[in-house]
């Protein structure tokens, strides 16, 4: 057996923590996606008076593994006229923000890969990379549906990034810190949803649903008009990477909402990590609930809603919070 | 060679490669990708200089907002798939070369004439709070001037959009 302690001594504690953390993150990403594909089908099934997957394993629990194996086994088709470097790059880039965001999320008092004092900025800065990958995918695919999907995604992202930022800022004001752990610790006196920031929570959640391209805001991949949107030309494991990233993005959006508004890992009796996952998966469930009960919005409605309602309200909330804090 | 030097060289290579792609590539989308790589390289340089806040702002603003806006503009304006490489024409090549040489000489003399002193340890540990305080205290005037500039450009953009609408 190789000596773990010796290795840690050579590369240093911080590096070892980072490497172990990244391995843990990769495991969480895959397990989370496996669980969520199953949950989503079950939720959608029951909401539409169907059953969902039930043949493979008890309650269809092994269905995600079967799907994963199928995707792994599929041939990686590359259409003839794609822009090759961009086409190959897109599924890789889509994973960068996912991995980076996990580094700063506090799962528990001590379970965090690295507490960076500008933690929330790290997540917000890198989350813009996912729209970049959609853009590259749409462009590189050399397909009209992909390109329209990518254009829509860019417009949507510009519109919803602003309320997203503006809804998180008042919380940072109140906590007087940009570090995610500090923000959780401040909430020992009460969650921010109930302490003045309920509207910020609503705005954040709507904007996050739009940022993760979920129904009712899933215009970049609207099936009825764009086939599959930006990932029309992707098959096999490349498609699976987009899929994994989508589910992980939902998880991250919910985890940030949990951290900022719902007290993160704080809670009685049960250990912190259990509380964290309960709250996060509840929000994930709510996002799925949206998907199977709301119709898709029209594109002008989508943009008008952000520019004319969400942004002014978020600004008003920000100014009010700042003013009251300084009184 | 220290590990820090290796990191520095990697960041430098990313920045330079991005800049070269931006200038030399025929496709406008590739140029944008090169620009984004350069922005990331610069952000990496800020991290290297122990200024994580500015690095994150660099990514948030230049990659997340400006580059995405450029992409949006490209898609609206009707992109050219294969653009001929115009810089091989003699007139353009010569004028470009003159511009490059003049700006290089200018930068070079400025860099060589400046007396570079190492960053003091106290200045290296700027927190977000320090940056905010400096912005609203010592650098208040430039800060306000920048916001004035932005207001002017917003008004200009609105005027342009209004006139083009009326003509239709």
Residue A121 has its nearest CB partner, among B56, B63, B75, at B56
Q: How far apart are CA A62 and CA A40, in angstroms?
A: 14
Chain B CB contacts of A147 under 8 Å are 75
Asked if B142 reaches chain A (Cβ–Cβ under 8 Å), the answer is no
Q: How far apart are CA A237 and CA A242, in angstroms?
A: 9
The DSSP letter of residue B167 is H
Please name the residue of chain B whose CA is at the shortest distance from the CA of residue A178: B128
DSSP-based three-state secondary structure for B27: coil
pTM attached to this predicted model: 0.83
The answer to whether the peptide bond before residue B105 is cis (omega within 30 degrees of 0) is no
Cα A54–Cα A227–Cα A68 angle in degrees, nearest 5: 35
Per-residue confidence (pLDDT) for residue A93, from 0 to 100: 85
- pLDDT tens for residues A268-306? 877 778 888 888 888 888 988 888 888 888 888 888 888
Instruction: Tell how far CA B168 is from the center of its chain.
Output: 36
Residue B24 has pLDDT above 60, yes or no: yes
Tell which residue, A127, A295, A310, has the closest CA to residue A217.
Answer: A295
Q: Which residues of A lie closer than 8 Å to B, measured between beta carbons?
A: 86, 116-118, 121-122, 124-129, 131-132, 135-136, 139, 147, 150-151, 154-155, 157-158, 161, 178
Q: How far apart are CA A142 and CA B66, in angstroms?
A: 24
**How many C-beta atoms surround the C-beta of residue A237 within 10 A?**
16
Residue B121 has pLDDT above 60, yes or no: no
Q: How far apart are CA A162 and CA A204, in angstroms?
A: 10
| CB spacing of A151 vs B72 below 8 angstroms | yes
Please say whether the beta carbons of A175 and A186 come within 8 A: yes
Tell which residue, A135, A124, A118, A78, has the closest CA to residue A252.
Answer: A124
Specify the higher pLDDT residue, A99 or B37. Answer: B37
Q: How far apart are CA A241 and CA A235, in angstroms?
A: 10
Task: Spell out where chain B has E strands.
Answer: none
**How many C-beta atoms surround the C-beta of residue A95 within 10 A?**
19
**Structure tokens, B32:** 């944008």
Q: Which of B3, B7, B39, B56 to mutate to test the interface with A (most CBs of A within 10 A)?
A: B56
Domains of chain B with bracketed CATH: 3-83+117-167 (1.20.120.1200)
**Structure tokens, A279:** 């709250």
Shortest Cα–Cα distance, B107 to chain A (Å): 31
Q: How far apart are CA B94 and CA B101, in angstroms?
A: 11
Residue A2 has pLDDT above 70, yes or no: no
pLDDT band at B148 (very low <50, low <70, confident <90, very high): very high
- pLDDT tens for residues A119-153? 888 888 888 788 888 888 888 787 788 888 888 88
| CB spacing of A128 vs B33 below 8 angstroms | no
Shortest Cα–Cα distance, B63 to chain A (Å): 7
Alpha carbon separation from A244 to A34, A39, A239 (Å, rounded): 9, 14, 9
Shortest Cα–Cα distance, A66 to chain B (Å): 37
| CB spacing of B64 vs A121 below 8 angstroms | no
Please say whether the beta carbons of A239 and A231 come within 8 A: yes
| CB spacing of A121 vs B127 below 8 angstroms | no
pLDDT band at B102 (very low <50, low <70, confident <90, very high): very high
Q: How far apart are CA A13 and CA A118, in angstroms?
A: 21
Q: What percent of chain A has a predicted confidence (pLDDT) above 90?
A: 1
With tokens 């991290």, the residue in question is B47
Residues sharing a CB contact under 8 Å with residue A275, sequence separation 6 or more, in sequence order? A263, A265, A266, A267
Tell which residue, A158, A159, A185, has the closest CA to residue A171.
Answer: A185
DSSP-based three-state secondary structure for A235: coil
Please say whether the beta carbons of A150 and A138 come within 8 A: yes
Specify the higher pLDDT residue, B127 or B31. Answer: B31
Please say whether the beta carbons of A124 and A164 come within 8 A: yes
Please say whether the beta carbons of A322 and A170 come within 8 A: yes
| CB spacing of A121 vs B60 below 8 angstroms | yes
Alpha carbon separation from A106 to A120, A170, A311, B35 (Å, rounded): 11, 20, 28, 33
Residue B79 has pLDDT above 60, yes or no: no
Residue B124 has pLDDT above 60, yes or no: no
Specify the higher pLDDT residue, B69 or B104. Answer: B104
Instruction: Tell how far CA B157 is from the center of its chain.
Output: 21
Q: Which long-range contacts (CB under 8 A, 24 or more apart) does B68-74 make?
A: B68/A128, B68/A131, B68/A132, B68/A135, B68/A154, B68/A157, B68/A158, B69/A158, B70/B32, B70/B35, B71/A135, B71/A154, B71/B29, B71/B32, B72/A151, B72/A154, B72/A155, B72/A158, B74/B28, B74/B29, B74/B32
Chain B CB contacts of A128 under 8 Å are 59-60, 63-65, 68
| CB spacing of A158 vs B36 below 8 angstroms | no
Q: Which of A132, A141, A177, A178 to mutate to test the interface with B (most CBs of B within 10 A)?
A: A132
Q: What percent of chain A has a predicted confidence (pLDDT) above 70?
A: 96
The DSSP letter of residue B18 is H
């Amino acid at each position: 057996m190789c000596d773990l302690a010796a290795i840690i001594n050579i590369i240093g504690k911080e590096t070892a923590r980072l490497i172990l953390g990244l391995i843990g993150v990769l495991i969480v990403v895959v397990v989370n996606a496996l669980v969520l594909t199953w949950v989503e089908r079950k939720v959608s099934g029951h909401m539409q008076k169907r059953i969902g997957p039930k043949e493979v394993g008890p309650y269809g629990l092994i269905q995600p593994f079967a799907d994963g194996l199928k995707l792994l086994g599929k041939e990686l088709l590359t259409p003839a006229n794609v822009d090759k470097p961009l086409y190959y790059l897109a599924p890789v880039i889509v994973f960068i923000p996912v991995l980076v965001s996990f580094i700063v999320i506090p799962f528990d008092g001590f379970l965090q890969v690295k507490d960076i004092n500008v933690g929330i900025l790290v997540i917000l800065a890198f989350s813009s990379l996912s729209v970049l990958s959609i853009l590259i995918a749409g462009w590189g695919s050399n397909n009209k549906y992909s390109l329209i999907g990518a254009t829509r995604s860019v417009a949507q992202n510009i519109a919803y990034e602003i309320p997203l930022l503006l809804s998180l800022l008042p919380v940072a004001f109140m906590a007087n810190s940009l570090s995610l752990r500090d923000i959780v610790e401040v909430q020992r006196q009460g969650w921010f949803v109930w302490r003045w920031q309920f509207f910020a929570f609503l705005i954040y959640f709507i904007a996050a649903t739009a940022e993760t391209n979920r129904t009712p805001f899933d215009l970049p991949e609207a099936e009825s008009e764009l086939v599959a949107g930006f990932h029309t030309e992707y098959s096999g494991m490349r498609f699976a990477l987009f899929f994994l990233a989508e589910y992980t993005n939902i998880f991250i959006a919910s985890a940030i909402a949990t951290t900022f508004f719902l007290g993160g890992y704080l809670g009685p009796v049960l250990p912190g990590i259990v509380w964290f996952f309960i709250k996060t998966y509840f929000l994930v469930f709510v996002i799925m609930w949206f998907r199977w009960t709301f119709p898709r919005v029209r594109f002008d409605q989508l943009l008008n809603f952000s520019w004319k309602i969400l942004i002014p309200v978020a600004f008003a909330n920000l100014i009010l919070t700042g003013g009251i804090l300084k009184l | 060679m220290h590990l820090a030097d290796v990191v520095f060289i990697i960041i430098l290579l990313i920045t330079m490669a991005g800049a070269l792609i931006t200038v030399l590539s025929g496709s406008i989308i590739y140029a944008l990708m090169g620009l984004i790589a350069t922005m990331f390289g610069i952000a990496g340089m800020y991290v290297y200089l122990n200024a994580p806040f500015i690095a994150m702002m660099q990514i948030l603003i230049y990659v997340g907002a400006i580059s995405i806006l450029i992409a949006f503009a490209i898609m609206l304006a009707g992109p050219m798939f294969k653009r001929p490489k115009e810089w091989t024409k003699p007139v353009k090549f010569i004028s470009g070369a003159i511009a490059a040489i003049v700006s290089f000489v200018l930068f070079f003399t400025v860099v060589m004439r400046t007396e570079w002193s190492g960053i003091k340890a106290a200045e290296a540990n700027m927190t977000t709070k320090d940056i905010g305080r400096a912005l609203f205290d010592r650098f208040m005037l430039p800060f306000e001037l920048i916001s004035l500039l932005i207001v002017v450009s917003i008004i200009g953009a609105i005027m342009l959009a209004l006139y083009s609408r009326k003509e239709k």
